[in-house]
Amino acid sequence: AECYCAKIIRGGRISAPEMKVPSNSRIVMLLGQLERMNGEAMVRDVETARQVTTKILHLIQTQEKSGKEVMSKGSSGMEVILASLEVSSQTTLEFLCISIVTDLGRRMGVFVSKGGTGILFQILTSASKELPPSEELMLQLHSLLAKVGPKDRKFGVKARLSGALNVTISLIKQNLQNAKLLLPCLQVLRVYSANSVNAISLGKNGVVELMFKIIAPYSKKNTSLLKVALDALGALLKSKTNARRAVDGSHVPALLALYLDWHRNDARHRHMLIRKGLLVCLRNITNIKLGRKAFIEADGMRILYNTSTECLPVRTLDPLINTSSLIMRKCFPKNRLPVPTIKSAFHYQLPHVLPVGPVAQLYSQPPGVDDVVDDSDDNEETEAETDTDNEEDEKNDDIETDLNKLHPTKSPGRPFEELRVYERFFLELSEDFQVTVNYNILFLQGYNFEGSKGASSTPSSGSLSSSSSSARSTRPIIVPTAQALSPKHMATPASQEIWNSIKGQHTQPPSPLLLGDIATRRVGGGGSDCGSEGAEDEGGEGAVLEVPDTALLLPLHDPDLYVEMVKGTRSVPQYAEVAYPDYFGHVAPTFKEPHLERVYGVQRSKIFQDIERLIHPNDILDKVVYDLDIPSCPVIEDSGESLKFNSQFESGNLRKAIQVRKYEYDLVLNSDINSNHYHQWFYLEVSGMRVGTTYRFNIINCEKSNSQFNYGMQVLMYSVQEAISGRPRWVRTGTDICYYKNHFARSSIAAGGQKGKSYFTLTFSTTFSHKDDVCYFAYHYPYTYSTLKMHLAKLEALRTPHIYLRQDVLCETLGGNICPLLTITAMPESNSNDHICQFRNRPLIFLSARVHPGETNASWVMKGTLEFLMGTSPLAASLREAYIFKIVPMLNPDGVINGNHRCSLSGEDLNRQWQNPNPELHPTIYHTKSLLQYLAHIQRAPLVFCDYHGHSRKKNVFMYGCSVKETVWQSNISATSSDLHEDLGYRTLPKILSQIAPAFSMASCSFVVERSKEATARVVVWREIGVQRSYTMESTLCGCDQGKYKGLQIGTRELEEMGAQFCVALLRLKRLTGLRNHQHLLDLESDIIGTQSKVVSPTTYVMEEDEPSFLEAIDYSAESDNEDAEPENEHGNNVHENPDHLDQLSDSY
């Protein structure tokens, strides 16, 4: 017979010299004897062979040492036994060999790697042809196979191809009463079934029905058999055809009844695994729609809800509760998101719509079409079987592998004649300082400075104020928001005086619209803690609203100036209100805000509360208290039994608030303008709360598949009562926070064509500590466009004769707002030629931020950068002398103003437009890119380009850069060494940052060029403008897990510090690059900053979040594949979504 042994022997693997066991060992001698008998001799002398084998078996059984010798590395013992197995035709000998192998159980891996599985199947099929087959041999073989199976990845395929599948099935069918033989057969079947092709074929052969026969009815007679049968059935039911079979056979009610039986009769919880096995069957059946339907019809929700509730007190039953919860979440009937359309409540008419793309789709949608739900969950069709053994090699296909694209090729871009107009933004490059020029002209034309007071107004501003008055909005501005006012606190005669006394410096009252409202605002009730210093304090009966005196704490904040700025800000909804936090300002708290520890089982209890909506529908109020789709009156008045909501102010985006239960609210966020999705950011106002009551809030239409809210991040809250008590600040708030997939259906229109998707819920609970307070909740520290304008105006006040600061208007946005461009450097030391030459020739640094409106942290980092650059420190002075800074602090003003999360008014992600920005639709990107193209043309491309972003799924601050070498390393494409010749300068800046900025983490940086990012600022500036140090800097929304801030949530202080440290790092970079002429830069860099001249460990490319998984599955559709794992691990798997989708929602910038 052609055989393995021959091959093995010819392959020389069992030649004597390789035997490493001591040659005098008895077992080695016996093996040697057996080896010499292999082939002809064995057939001739079965008796001797048997004797030898028996001796070997005896030795293995009695001496542990012998077993080790047979199996030890380098020993050929296993080959000899295998060879004997294969050659022999004698049942008894086989039996003995199998016994030997069985006894070597712990080294089954060796057996598998030597081809043992195939030999066993061969013996099995040939033995099955004997009539009747030897029961003893079958038992032995299956026992051994059951051990081999889990060690052999190809076990299922080998079984099918050898015909062993059918042998085992017919054995099972013929031995249903023979538990001794049945058990190992079922154990083997369990392994067979894990292969999807096998599962289908087994199902066709009636094995699903067979298993149901074995597991029912309830009996504790043979529980180990039952357990194995359930495991096999569970594996079989992963196949959708089999699941359908189970539904058709009415097994869903039967399984539920059986589960109930076990639940009731297993009082001491000794049969957890059987109960769990039953749930796994239900879980797999409910993967298909028919299964979910059958589950609901069989009252599965109530059964699992009740049993789970009864299990709750026993911690060891958690796996049952978690699997039950998973099934219930899946079967929970999909609800409609309670909005008429998912299109933004506001629409902005674009000058034109590109023929393809999301906006065109949105516009072309016929009226009356329901886009909130579609039939995407109604079709069973897509549940076809995939008839392949999927060995998915998870290759990341997003890495750029086209070498041509990996080599930065400066693209000429627009012709220089066109770019010449941008010269006016670079006056410093031609400045001769012979005439005094007022650089504020451009800036002031676009800004509205009228009304700004004090040191902030430069002498020139007054003369220019008339030019801005035309742009000034005539609509009334209400400060603060009106809805929070309770009617009984209307104007009193005293209030005007109080106002004047507080704002004593005013000689004339501000405009009545503005003042009238502020003066009449009272925050009633007068908690004793809101002490006011005003002489006119009326006592405990209700303090008049005061503006906290934050001038010292917040030198760059001015409430009046802020209101003036709001007047010049154009929003699509024409906001007429100002939110208190933006008006009062935010003073970072001095206490630490550690990550919130996740309470055990928090998500489960929240989900159970959600399920109760279905179980106890009468408890649900479903009362709409705020609805932006009623434009005339979104705030719905009521008798005071509900909270009041509002977000009709800059960056606000609440669309609807529904009181679900007495102290629980569902909140729906508005889509980005001209879009039907992108919601994650939120900013809203709440009032009318009761003190000491815990409220639960659920934001029910979040889109990202995971969030740092699951890893210690809290929401931000701002209390007006606290503010007027001298603590104007956002604080991290909320308990019982978690983020999970919910039961609100997401139509395929909103899910990028993917069907059957759901939204995610962010839930948090909070208790309010002041009566009649007005509180705000936000995703992250708000930073509005009007705030930016106020800060820029205040920056003027920091100007000294040594600082060259110019504020230009780069362009106007679609929404009619201006996009500021700042130039900061040092004035030349003198008018001498040398000094002017040095001034003009300073390298440029180009910075931008806030292309994504929801990433407000980027603005706080930018604020830190700007204030540092305008500062008086010697470092700042050196920095200004070293570089010319060109800064676009807000690339997407319209998005910020209108409360968008990601897009501009064009309904598009502006950071995907850099390759080919449209001047009309993406003006800020078009003109920013043009500035860079102009610089490239005049050979003055910036030394560093950095775009500030925020990251919602990672901790720390880190950078993304572009490196050919590191991309090639990650992608395995073959490249010549010249392709890999690369200056390592791109690593210097992040390396410096990791040394000086506590929040910065080098380990999180990546320098891989991804295809999905080829139209981002970073990649385009690197590739087309030729800036080697082109970066995205990502700041966490959550906090740090390394460095000085480890374990803490990030605050504005840390973000601003990051912005300042970025500047310090640039100064260090200057020292290093200043030595470029010395030709030893690389060596020097590596000496100084500890980078070797070749990168020893390239940064790893991590596409998804890198948080450890936890017990509770965020997404119930993410099924775990490791059925054999410990039950506790079952829910550990994280979501793996399709990359397109990820890209769409990724905030990785």
| β-bridge mates for residue 731, sequence order | 717
Report in angstroms the alpha-carbon separations of 835 from 431, 437, 628, 829, 862: 11, 18, 59, 6, 29
Give the nearer residue to Zn ion in terms of CB position, either 4 or 948.
Answer: 948
All residues at 6 or more sequence positions from 192 whose CB lies less than 8 Å from its CB, including other chains: 149, 155, 156, 159, 160, 165, 168, 198, 202
**Residues near Zn ion, by CB under 5 A:** 852, 855, 949, 1149
Query: Which residue reads 């440290």 in tokens?
Result: 1061
C-alpha span between 874 and 802 (Å, rounded)? 12
The least CB distance from residue 319 to Zn ion, in Å, is: 39
The DSSP symbol for 750 reads: T
Q: Return the bridge partners of 553, or none.
A: none
Three-state DSSP string of 206-260: CHHHHHHHHHCCCCCCCHHHHHHHHHHHHHHCCCHHHHHHHHHCCHHHHHHHHHH
Q: Is 1034 noted as a catalytic residue in this protein? A: yes
Q: What tokens appear for 791 in the block?
A: 């800060």
Nearer to Zn ion, 569 or 857 (CB): 857
Catalytic residue among 664, 722, 1034, 1054: 1034
Given a contact cutoff of 8 angstroms between Cβ atoms, the answer to whether 786 and 566 are in contact is yes
Q: How far is CA 761 from CA 6, 645, 701, 782, 1114, in A?
A: 63, 19, 6, 21, 10
Q: Which of 435, 433, 437, 440 is nearest to 828 (CA)?
A: 433
DSSP one-letter string for 880-919: HHH-EEEEES-S-HHHHHTT-SS--TTSS-GGG-SSS--T
Q: How far apart are CA 265 and CA 424, in angstroms?
A: 84
**Least distance from Zn ion to the Cβ atom of residue 861, Å:** 12
Minimum distance from residue 947 beta carbon to Zn ion (Å): 8
Q: Closer CB to Zn ion, residue 679 or residue 949?
A: 949
Query: With contact defined as beta carbons under 8 Å apart, do 195 and 240 qualify?
Result: no
C-alpha 395/C-alpha 399 separation (Å) is 10
Measured from the CB of residue 608, what is the shortest distance to Zn ion in angstroms? 35
- Least CB distance to Zn ion at residue 1016 (A): 9
Task: Tell me the closest approach of the beta carbon of residue 954 to Zn ion, in angstroms.
Answer: 12
Q: Which is nearer to Zn ion, 199 or 910 (CB)?
A: 910
Question: CB within 8 A of 187, min separation 6: which ones?
Answer: 142, 143, 146, 149, 228
Of residues 456 and 680, the one with the C-beta less far from Zn ion: 680
- Amino acid 213 reads K
Give me 249's structure tokens: 């056979």
Cα 684-687-689 angle, rounded to 5 deg? 125
Q: Which is nearer to Zn ion, 53 or 898 (CB)?
A: 898
Which amino acid is present at 497?
E
**3-class DSSP state for residue 656?**
strand
Separation of alpha carbons 867 and 24, rounded Å:
83
Minimum distance of Zn ion from residue 896's CB (angstroms): 13
Q: Residue 427 has which token pair?
A: 């006056």
Nearest CB to Zn ion, comparing residues 859 and 971: 859
Which tokens in the block code for residue 113?
Answer: 């790697």
Task: Give the pairing of strands 944-951 and 1029-1036.
Answer: parallel
Query: Which C-beta is closer to Zn ion: that of 138 or that of 858?
Result: 858
CB 852 to Zn ion: min, Å: 4
Q: Which residue has the tokens 């295998």?
A: 82
Cβ at position 846, least distance to Zn ion in Å: 17
Residue 1026: closest CA among 933, 1113, 1100: 933
Q: Which is nearer to Zn ion, 458 or 1146 (CB)?
A: 1146
Helices (H), 249-317: 251-265, 272-285, 289-297, 300-311
Least gap, CB of 650 to Zn ion (angstroms): 20
Residue closer to Zn ion (CB basis): 212 or 1149: 1149
Please give the structure tokens belonging to residue 82. 């295998």
Which residues are marked as active site? 1034
